[in-house]
Structure 1
Amino acid sequence: MKIAVPYENGQVFQHFGHSGQFKIYDVEDGRITAERIAVPAGSGHGALAGFLSGLEVDTLICGGIGAGAQEALAQAGIRLYGGVTGGADEAVRALLAGTLDYSAEVRCGRHDHHREHGHCGEDHHGCAGNSGRCGG
């Protein structure tokens, strides 16, 4: 298993489409065997899903993530655990222990598209939706 976490200052970075780096964990027999930081060349959900797929990541733990990013990850065969906050290392250990607190209904909560962009439904680097809030 290979797990990726959008990473900033030891924490789960909260906006997938703007992730500047990921912490990658190699897992064997339920134990972390290696970890490293990987920096993507691009941003936006399509580029990031491709980047993670190229690293052979099969699981992503993240904070906020829009519907377009969720679809791109699903197409890449990457299992998603979204809506996670706190320390990245702690989140991975919790996932391995079966105690990770995540949301199957995760949405990007970075900003209100109606106020900031005039309407929703646009893809803003992984933050897309149609209900007046990101990922709606």
Structure 2
Amino acid sequence: MKIAVTAENGQIFQHFGKSKQFAIYEAENSQVVRKQVLDAGENGHGALAGLLAANGVTVLICGGIGAGARQALAANRIGLVAGASGSTDDAVQAYLAGELSDNPAGQCNHHHEGGEHTCGTGGCGHHHAAE
């Protein structure tokens, strides 16, 4: 099983569509056997799901994620655990132990007009006024 986590400095990055890196964990028998970093390059929301699929990822752990990205992951048969925060290592261990599941609060609605919002539990810092 390959688990990807949106990552920045060892922490879960809170905005899937703006992720620059993913921590990729390979697990066997509920134990991490390998960890590497995957650079996302300039890929955006939809292309990130394809990038993860091309790298054999079967589960994504992230903070906030929009409906379109959720659909792209589902189309690529990648399981999703949204609404997570904290250390990437801790999140993967919690997932493997069955202690971490998808949180609907991880839905990110960037395409509404005006106002601020947060993604996931930690907030992504994306403010529409700055767009």
Alpha-carbon RMSD across the aligned residues, in angstroms, is: 2.1
| Contact 1:16–1:64 (CA under 8 A) maintained in structure 2 | yes
Identity rate, percent: 49
| Contact 1:81–1:104 (CA under 8 A) maintained in structure 2 | no
Identify the range of structure 1 (50-59 vs 34-43) with the bigger mean alpha-carbon deviation.
Answer: 34-43
* Deviations 1:9-37, CA, capped at 9 Å, x for gaps: 11100000000000000001110000000
1:96-115 matches, within 5 Å, as 96-100=96-100, 102-108=102-108, 113-115=112-114
Letter in 1 for 2:92: V
Moved over 4 A (4+): none
Partner in structure 1 of residue 93 of structure 2? 93
Report the Cα offset of residue 41 of structure 1.
2.9
Residue correspondences, number:
117
| Contact 1:24–1:35 (CA under 8 A) maintained in structure 2 | yes
1:72 is the counterpart of 2:83: no
1:1-136 matches, within 5 Å, as 1-100=1-100, 102-108=102-108, 113-115=112-114
Q: How many angstroms apart in 1 are the aligned matches of 2:50 and 2:41?
A: 11
Identify the range of structure 1 (35-44 vs 66-75) with the bigger mean alpha-carbon deviation.
Answer: 35-44
Q: How many angstroms apart in 2 are the aligned matches of 1:11 and 1:106?
A: 16
Report the Cα offset of residue 112 of structure 1.
7.6
Letter in 2 for 1:60: L
Where does structure 1 lack aligned partners over 5 or more consecutive residues? 117-126, 128-136
Q: How many angstroms apart in 2 are the aligned matches of 1:29 and 1:108?
A: 33
Q: How many angstroms apart in 1 are the aligned matches of 2:61 and 2:48?
A: 13
Report the Cα offset of residue 108 of structure 1.
1.3
Where does structure 2 lack aligned partners over 5 or more consecutive residues? 116-125, 127-131
Letter in 2 for 1:30: S
Letter in 2 for 1:69: A
* Deviations 1:101-120, CA, capped at 9 Å, x for gaps: 540453116x683116xxxx
